Chain A
Amino acid sequence: MTGVASLTIERVRAGLAARQFSAVELAQAALEFAQVENPKTNAYLHFCPERALAAAERVDQKLAAGADPGPLGGVPIAVKDVIVTQGVRTTCGSRLLDKYIPPYNATAVRRLEEAGAVILGKTNCDEFAMGSSNENSAFGPVRNPAALDRVPGGSSGGSAAAVAQGTAVAALGSDTGGSVRQPASFCGVVGVTPTYGRVSRYGLVAFASSLDHIGPFGRTVRDAALMLETMAGRDECDATSASAPVPRYTAQLDGKVAGLKIGVPREYFEGLASETGDLVHAGLDVLKRLGCQVRDISLPATKYAVPCYYVIATAEASSNLARYDGVRYTSRANAETLSGMYRVTRGEGFGAECKRRIMLGTYVLSHGYYDAYYLKAQKVRALIAEDFRKAFTEVDAIAAPVSPSPAFKIGEKVNDPLEMYLSDIYTITGDLAGIPCMSVPCGKTREGLPVGMQILTRHFDESGMFRLADAFEKAGGFAGPN
């Protein structure tokens, strides 16, 4: 079959219903296409054809019996390799977990598969999701399908690249400081970070627990919304998952956005690359044409977001990564003593960025510095969240850039970690506040590099976010597969 690269969930559903192809035929074609195309980008780390074909077989059996194959029946998807899949290697982009085979499925994975999704394989990412360029993977960087000499963004670079390249219809990523939205923006696809707690993190390998989210990628807003509504909702295996009811987001893409008040935070336009600024401004004009009232707002604590985030995220990371000590998780270096084994295993196993964050996190949590860094950062976090709370008393949604610049060249920032951290400024605020936020394509630079626009709404108002993004996507002519 042809046209695998431009499928949407809607088209898979229609194709299966019309018997144009079977789920097994689609899975085979998608696997073959992905395996042939993958060397261009290195988006996938490994494939799981047996699991994919078994899932597709179940969908075909349901269809043959006249039963509903589920909202994602037969849809080929990719899963970031920090989300565990029972019996399928899950490396977290780390040499330390090179051989790790999880004994269980993440809740998000289980729910998507129960809804008929066909997982083709696991996608590349920065080691333990730490990075903004996907250059921190132990298994080599991912190349951006839009420009192969450029990064796809990170840390969910493989998932974003797979969806952009057409080697998956949709994908799962994780977002702690922008790791779904920034690669979505760089690769020209839709990427969503839901409200904190909306999607269970059971089976998401922990990076910074007070900030970690699982979120979907899609080629259209509708596809991303469908992925999210399928996996969201309370899970007894994750005490932080929210019990708030999950609306059918896809039923609310009605285009009714006229009259909505959209805030544009002026702090997010300082230090933007000029073309990015032009494209986002053109995007704001699209919102105006849709009848939205676009107005200037201020989120004054924004300038403290980067230091605030990197204190909290590294503190939590240094604690979460303590478990990789050579005792339980596959890799162990030989040493005479127990503490020697810990040290050498970790020294040999972790890459440079993980070490940097472990050291920073250990420092900001250490005796004598805790109040100055960690406690202070938690207070600043409260001010950042308060900025949003106040803003949402005056506006229905916020529109902003995702990243200060489009995708940069591979290697360009690799020796300047601070510069890399600073590029996260517009995405980390949403994670710190725990509000829903997403990147939706907003056009391309003259060089053809995609740029995303960010939409943020109140806690649990994913419906409002998707409604606005869907209307924007359709009105802007940015919709769907290329």
Chain B
Amino acid sequence: MADLANLNLTEEEIAHLVKDLDEILTHMDALNEIDTSGVEPMAQVLYASEETATLRRDEIIPPIGNHAALANAPLAGNGYYKVPKVIER
């Protein structure tokens, strides 16, 4: 599971997590007690209201620009984020 989450964990952390997750997942099993047959899953909050215009006008808004966008990068160069080598030449 830690591999899927791209998370490096220490042995000690793993021991704690195993215990915590066991306890929490056991508690979550209570969900099986309730009958949900015929119930539509609720993926978002819905309310009776006028339609929200989710599409705005297609107008060009100036972006923040390359410099500002990369200002928080741990490592950048030539206008790009730099990462460890992925492809060997």
Contact = CB atoms under 8 A, between A and B. Distances in A.
Nearest to A241: B52
Contact of A244 (B16, B39, B45, B50): B50
10 contacts: A197-B45, A243-B50, A304-B30, A343-B6, A343-B7, A347-B10, A362-B1, A379-B36, A418-B23, A421-B27
Nearest first, the 9 A-B pairs at minimum CB distance are: A347-B8, A434-B45, A378-B41, A332-B74, A379-B36, A382-B42, A459-B47, A196-B45, A343-B8
A378 B42 contact: yes
Contacts of B30: 303-304, 307
Contacts, number: 171
Nearest to A344: B8
B8 A346 contact: yes
B78 interface: no
Contact of B74 (A307, A322, A331, A380): A331
B60 interface: no
B23 A360 contact: no
Interface of B: 1-2, 4-10, 13, 16-17, 20-21, 23-25, 27-34, 36, 39-45, 47-54, 56, 64, 68-69, 71-75, 81, 83-86
B9 A355 contact: yes
Interface of A: 99-101, 103-104, 195-197, 210, 234, 236, 239-244, 301, 303-304, 306-308, 310-311, 318, 322, 325-332, 335-344, 346-348, 350, 352, 355-356, 358-360, 362-364, 366, 372-373, 375-383, 385, 417-418, 421, 433-434, 459-460
Contact of A417 (B4, B24, B42, B51): B24
Contact of A434 (B47, B64, B69, B73): B47
A311 B28 contact: yes
The residue in B28, B31, B44 that gathers the most chain A C-beta atoms within 10 A of its C-beta is B28
Contact of B84 (A330, A337, A350): A337
Given A244-B49, A417-B23, 9 more contacts: A197-B52, A301-B34, A304-B31, A311-B31, A338-B83, A346-B8, A347-B9, A348-B8, A379-B41
A366 B39 CA distance: 22
A253 to B, nearest CB: 24
A283 B29 CA distance: 36
A373 B64 contact: no
Main secondary structure of the interface of B (DSSP, over half): loop
Contacts of B2: 359
A380 B17 contact: no
A398 B73 CA distance: 47
Contact of B71 (A103, A352, A383): A103
Contacts of A196: 45
B32 A376 contact: yes
Contacts of B54: 239
A346 B7 contact: yes
Given A243-B53, A329-B72, A383-B39, A359 B5 contact: yes
A359 B1 contact: yes
B83 A243 contact: no
B83 A383 contact: no
A366 B1 contact: yes
Contact of B72 (A304, A328, A382, A460): A328
Given A331-B74, A383-B39, A234 B31 contact: no
B2 to A, nearest CB: 7
A259 B25 CA distance: 45
A310 B6 contact: no
A234 to B, nearest CB: 7
Contacts of B53: 243
